[in-house]
């Protein structure tokens, strides 16, 4: 199964693709979509959508997962992040993918083993779990972490079903 992890943001949206056979993870690709900050917000959202559509077309994931955003103290920043997050949820849904959402603590727990891990720990564990990966940004590393988390959580029901059968 090919999984697409997404770390939403208006300035930078990280994406990461991994293959998962139910036991082993394999790095496929990762990157960052960074719309021009000097463009109007509507144009930046279009750029974000088009970038995600291209990632989906290029890598053909079977499913997608998005990191839930935390509440920001700055209302204007939270609103802009919410708009970007809407596009990040919409693009894979329009492509016919199931889209899961994970709280950032669930992602950190799945990758590092603690829900309060620092960004550096997440990046280090992503590189450990996916040795061929070389994320171009923290956002891309976070997106790979979301994909790893999705692999762990999506495998649990199948493992349970196999154990019961």
Two structure tokens written together for 77 = 């920043």
Residues recognised as catalytic? 7, 67, 139
The three-point CA angle 147-141-56 to 5° equals: 50
Rounded to a whole number, what is the distance in angstroms from the first to the last CA of the chain? 22
Q: Do the beta carbons of residue 62 and residue 25 sit within 8 Å?
A: no
Torsion of CA 147, 153, 156, 158, to 10 degrees: -60
Query: CA–CA separation, 17 vs 4, rounded Å?
Result: 5
Query: CA–CA separation, 48 vs 42, rounded Å?
Result: 10
């Amino acid at each position: 199964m090919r999984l697409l992890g997404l770390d939403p943001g208006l300035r930078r949206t990280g994406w990461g693709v991994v293959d998962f056979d139910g036991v082993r993870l394999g790095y496929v690709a990762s990157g960052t979509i960074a719309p021009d900050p000097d463009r109007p917000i509507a144009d930046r959202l279009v750029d974000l959508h088009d970038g995600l559509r291209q990632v989906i077309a290029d890598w053909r994931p079977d499913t997608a997962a998005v990191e839930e955003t935390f509440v920001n103290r700055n209302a204007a920043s939270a609103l802009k992040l919410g708009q970007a997050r809407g596009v990040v949820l919409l693009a894979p849904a329009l492509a016919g993918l199931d889209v899961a959402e994970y709280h950032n603590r669930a992602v950190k727990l799945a990758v590092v083993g603690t829900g309060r891990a620092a960004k550096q720990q997440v990046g280090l564990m992503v590189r450990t779990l996916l040795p061929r990966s070389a994320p171009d940004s923290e956002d891309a590393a976070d997106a790979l972490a979301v994909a790893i988390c999705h692999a762990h959580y999506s495998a649990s029901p199948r493992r349970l079903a196999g154990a019961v059968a």
